[in-house]
Amino acid sequence: MSRERRELKQVSPEKPFGMYCCGPTVYGPAHIGNFRTFLLQDVLRRTLEVDGIKVRHVRNITDVDDKTIRRSQEEGKTLAEFTAAWTKKFHDDCAALNMLPPQVEPSAVEHIPLQIAMIEQLVARGNAYVAPDGSVYFKVSSDPHYGKLARLDRDALRTQSTNSNGDANVADEYTRDNVSDFALWKARKPEDGPNFWQSPWGEGRPGWHIECSAMSTHYLGETFDLHGGGIDLCFPHHENEIAQAECSCGHHDTFAQHWFHSAHLMVDGAKMSKSLGNLYTLADLEGKGFSPMAVRYALISGHYRSQLNFTLKSLDDATAALEKIEKAARKLLDKAGITPEEFSQDITVHEQNTAWGAFEPAWTALCDDLNIPGAIGKIFSAFAELNKTELSQADAGTQLCGLAKILSALGIRLFTKQEAAPADIPAEIVALGEQRWAAKQARNWAEADALRNKLAELGWKSLDRKDGYSLEKI
Ligand code: AMP
Ligand code: ZN
């Protein structure tokens, strides 16, 4: 909001840190651009928790909007069964990417009365009006604070109620050049099918923006600590969230106290998005042999305020970097007499330990505007330094505590691969694996993909590294 770096302060230190993030619209698989944003939020939450701050993380599920309604009807499914299936897929991907589940994950459909109540308050306070068809619009000119987050030209907004064509604005998404009164409640239309709810203004459904204002303040209070989302949500979604929430209670500057907008994941200079079709899902990348942990590493490895260009090479690099970290960690484990399993599992013991050892600079980087690339660089510097030092068994144990804590903040888990012993792999599978690896080396993607599918049919998958691969039972 201030366009300045400010210290992250809690509104009420005695309460958990309230963090609201706009969640997925569940009408298809989330792509890795979406996951870049969700993963950065996960790292922020983990960092706060490693610092000893209790976090209350709320992330909504958008399960009623133009897209979910249209797609469910195209597939002949009820909205509930259609969105439940995509919500489950989203949860599965989140778990594979080692994301912590939010404490509250409210669905828009399950909170319609809450949204209606907020719209009623806006109408009562003169910030919203009912159109002849029974739709309700937010009156932008009624709010002298409107535009403060996106820094819109207030003078231009004073008289504007319709869009540039002179029409009422029924769209949920529009550009800043097309600001106008926006829909809070949409009167029932034939294309909505059975998806409508009763309201004081007749049958209809909520607009998109109102769900986040209603659910964030319901679960976190009128004022909460931080609100997150991709940078595309800054306008109009977050601007509208502020207007709805603050006008409905009549107090300004009360909504989110910090905004955490993450820059986009890009492909060849364009934002990765469903509409451009330039996307990858987690399943696409797993199909190419990359582990979810490598995907996580690649997606968090750029600074949250900078765009990140996605390439398959970045996943090769991530795979190699993870192997390097595992190798260096293994050396420390051997010295400390700790097994990789104990290291990966015993996170509570690590959290009780306050020592950072050689990983202190990595932690400092993370605490400075969530500088993840800086922190990763410092992890490698720490290993280089430790390599030059003679460590006792106790020293190695202390260093491992620091390593465990920084990896826990980044959500990176080591030693997750369960490689099959070569003797357990049937000869036919070994041969297919060899052929596939050769095709991949020759950059013959079509053949490599076909062989991967064949392996999958037989119940096997290949885990690829920069310098080789291993085969694993699915
Ligand atoms: P959606 O499911 O479309 O509502 O988006 C979910 C989240 O992903 C929102 O916070 C978006 O801002 C974010 N998002 C969408 N595309 C990208 C991208 N290419 N890079 C980063 N974040 C994105
Ligand atoms: Zn939202």
**Ligand 1 atom closest to the CA of 232, numbered from 1:** 12
Domains of the chain: 17-262 (3.40.50.620), 277-410 (1.10.730), 422-473 (no CATH)
For residue 224, give every residue at least 6 positions away whose Cβ sits within 8 Å of its Cβ, in sequence order, or none. Answer: 11, 18, 19, 20, 216, 217, 255, 256, 257
Which of helix, strand or coil describes residue 10? Answer: coil
For residue 65, give every residue at least 6 positions away whose Cβ sits within 8 Å of its Cβ, in sequence order, or none. Answer: 25, 108, 172, 208
C-alpha 406, offset from chain centre: 20
For residue 418, is pLDDT > 90?
Answer: no
CA nearest ligand 1 atom 7, residue: 34
Pairing of strands 136-138, 128-130: antiparallel
Chain-wide mean pLDDT for the chain?
92
232 lines ligand 1 (CB under 6 A): yes
When pLDDT is averaged across residues 380-397 and rounded to a whole number, the result is 95
When pLDDT is averaged across residues 356-372 and rounded to a whole number, the result is 97
pLDDT the model gives residue 442: 83
For the stretch 427-446, pLDDT in tens is: 889 889 888 988 888 888 88
433 lines ligand 1 (CB under 6 A): no
pLDDT the model gives residue 390: 94
**% residues pLDDT > 70 (the chain):** 95
pLDDT the model gives residue 209: 97
For residue 142, is pLDDT > 90?
Answer: yes
Q: What are the beta bridge partners of residue 309? A: 266
pLDDT the model gives residue 331: 96
When pLDDT is averaged across residues 352-358 and rounded to a whole number, the result is 83
Residue among 209, 261, 260, 216 at smallest CA distance from 237 = 209
CA nearest ligand 1 atom 8, residue: 34
When pLDDT is averaged across residues 288-297 and rounded to a whole number, the result is 97
- Expressed in angstroms and rounded, the spacing between residue 330 Cα and the centre of ligand 1 is 36
39 lines ligand 1 (CB under 6 A): no
447 lines ligand 1 (CB under 6 A): no
- Expressed in angstroms and rounded, the spacing between residue 22 Cα and the centre of ligand 2 is 4
For residue 123, is pLDDT > 90?
Answer: yes
Specify the higher pLDDT residue, 425 or 108: 108
- Three-class secondary structure assignment of 401-462: HHHHHHHHHHCCCCCCCCCCCHHHCCHHHHHHHHHHHHHHHCCCHHHHHHHHHHHHHCCEEE
Q: Is residue 107 left, alpha or beta, with left meaning phi > 0 and alpha meaning psi from -120 to 50?
A: beta
- Expressed in angstroms and rounded, the spacing between residue 205 Cα and the centre of ligand 2 is 17
For the stretch 18-69, pLDDT in tens is: 999 999 999 999 999 999 999 999 999 999 999 999 999 999 999 999 999 9
**% residues pLDDT > 90 (the chain):** 76
pLDDT the model gives residue 420: 47
pLDDT the model gives residue 400: 93
Instruction: Provide the whole-model pTM.
Output: 0.88
Residue 111: both structure tokens together: 């909170």
CA nearest ligand 1 atom 17, residue: 33
pLDDT the model gives residue 153: 82
How many C-beta atoms surround the C-beta of residue 342 within 10 A?
13
230 lines ligand 1 (CB under 6 A): yes
Residue 79: both structure tokens together: 């909205």
Name the pLDDT band for 195 (thresholds 50, 70, 90).
Answer: very high
How many C-beta atoms surround the C-beta of residue 254 within 10 A?
17
Q: Which H or E run contains 90?
A: helix 79-96
Residue 321: both structure tokens together: 């970097």
pLDDT the model gives residue 49: 94
Name the pLDDT band for 424 (thresholds 50, 70, 90).
Answer: confident
Closest ligand to C-alpha of residue 86 is 1
For residue 333, give every residue at least 6 positions away whose Cβ sits within 8 Å of its Cβ, in sequence order, or none. Answer: 339, 340, 343, 396, 400
For residue 345, is pLDDT > 80?
Answer: no
**Ligand 1 atom closest to the CA of 22, numbered from 1:** 10
**Ligand 1 atom closest to the CA of 228, numbered from 1:** 10
Closest ligand to C-alpha of residue 24 is 1
